[in-house]
């Protein structure tokens, strides 16, 4: 996964350099823009331990540059800053640990239930979009000139200040002794029974999330040099930045083991998704044209000279 992330970074850097070469500036107007947007964020888990509900919010803002290769197509790059806050309710997690030995040398199987496990992620990030832009021609609609647009591509989220809170309401341990075909769960001194859970918080390391993104909406013409974009967008993460930092539920035999509670591993794959609305103000840079060598004033001078 680290090699893939390094390759993505190199690929984006190369494209950023190439896109700054103003090949088409002499023929097509380019756009400098500022944007802001936000909406809902949630995690989508594949094969979770049980029914998981995840929901939160996000918002970001930044600047961009669109180099047009024609009147309707172009490439967009940019840089922005944002944050998201997502809470996930997991419910109960059950962990099975077989073939343990108690203090009297009797084998037993331990069943641990972590009740009402939940976690909250609070993350700031930098974003670098690399998009293909398409737009229709402007059409008059009452007092407005407008057209439709769509962008799609990849944007890279460089996450920092990745904070999380995790919570377990109740911890319950029960032991099964196969030799006696007997269950026990009341010896609190041995770590069996119910214990009050605990909240914990921590900080994760920097991570990268490449995301597929699609945006569409209306492009309003304010004047010859200023346009307003109003659109909706959808982002889908392509990797799981927390998988390596999660731990499988341990065989907790005493509530003290909750003192260093970490993020628990309760799924196979996890993807971050965003949906929201975006506003973008774009400023056209009209290409400069060389004056005609035989303009009207020059023809007059030539005629007078004769």
Question: What is each CA distance from 218 to 38, 69, 122, 212, 277, in whole angstroms?
Answer: 17, 20, 32, 21, 12
What pLDDT, on the 0 to 100 scale, is given for residue 5? 53
Per-residue pLDDT of 208-221, as tens digits, reads 999 999 999 999 99
pTM: 0.79
- Cα 38 versus chain centre, distance: 12
Q: Which residues of 152-177 are buried (b: 16+ CB within 10 A; e: fewer)?
A: ebbbbbebeebebebbbeebbbbbbe
Give the pLDDT score at 293: 52
User: Which stretches of the chain score pLDDT less than 70?
Assistant: 1-28, 49, 251, 254-260, 286-306
Per-residue model confidence as pLDDT tens digits over 137-151: 888 777 778 899 999
Range of the domain at 6: 2-305
Q: What phi, psi does 106 have (nearest 5°)?
A: -100, 130
CB 232, CB 214: distance < 8 Å: no
Give the pLDDT confidence score for residue 220 in this predicted structure: 93
Q: What is the pLDDT of residue 196?
A: 84
DSSP secondary structure letters along 133-153: EEEPPPEEETTEEEEEEEEEE
* CB-based contact 258:201 (threshold 8 Å): no
Tokens of 286: 């009209």
Helix (H, G, I), strand (E, B) or coil at 10: helix
Number of domains in the chain: 1
Rg (CA), the chain: 29
Question: What is the distance between the alpha carbons of residues 54 and 84, in angstroms, rounded to a whole number?
Answer: 13
Q: Report the CATH number that the domain containing residue 90 is assigned in CATH.
A: 2.40.160.20
Q: DSSP assignment of 236-263, as one string?
A: EESS-TTGGG-BPPP---SGGGGGG---
* pLDDT for the residue 306: 47
Report yes or no: 113 and 172 within 8 Å, Cβ to Cβ: yes
151 neighbors 215 (Cβ within 8 angstroms): yes
**Given this model, what pLDDT does residue 223 score?**
87
């Amino acid at each position: 996964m680290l090699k893939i992330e390094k390759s993505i970074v190199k690929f984006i850097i190369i494209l950023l350099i190439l896109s700054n070469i103003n090949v088409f500036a002499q023929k097509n107007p380019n756009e400098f823009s500022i944007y802001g947007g936000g909406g809902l964020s949630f995690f989508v888990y594949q094969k979770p331990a049980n029914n998981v509900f995840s929901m939160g919010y996000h918002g970001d803002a930044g600047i961009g540059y669109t180099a047009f290769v024609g009147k309707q197509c172009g490439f967009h790059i940019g840089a922005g800053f944002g944050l998201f806050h997502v809470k996930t309710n997991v419910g109960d997690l059950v962990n099975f640990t077989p073939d343990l030995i108690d203090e009297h040398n009797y084998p037993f199987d331990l069943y641990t239930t972590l009740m009402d496990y939940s976690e909250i992620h609070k993350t700031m990030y930098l974003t670098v979009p690399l998009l293909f832009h398409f737009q229709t021609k402007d059409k008059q609609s009452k007092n407005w000139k407008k057209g439709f647009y769509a962008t799609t591509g990849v944007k890279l989220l460089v996450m920092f200040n990745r904070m999380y809170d995790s919570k377990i309401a109740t911890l319950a341990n029960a032991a099964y002794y196969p030799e006696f075909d007997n269950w026990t769960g009341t010896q609190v001194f041995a770590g069996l029974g119910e214990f009050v859970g605990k909240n914990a918080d921590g900080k994760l390391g920097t991570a990268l999330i490449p995301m597929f993104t699609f945006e569409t909406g209306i492009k309003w013409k304010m004047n010859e040099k200023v346009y307003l974009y109003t659109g909706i967008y959808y982002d889908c993460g392509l990797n799981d930045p927390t998988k390596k930092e999660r731990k499988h539920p341990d065989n907790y035999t005493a509530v003290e083991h909750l003192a260093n509670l970490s993020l628990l591993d309760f799924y196979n794959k996890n993807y971050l998704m965003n949906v929201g609305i975006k506003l973008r103000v774009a400023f056209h840079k009209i290409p400069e044209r060389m004056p005609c060598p035989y303009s009207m004033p020059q023809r007059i001078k030539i005629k007078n000279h004769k």
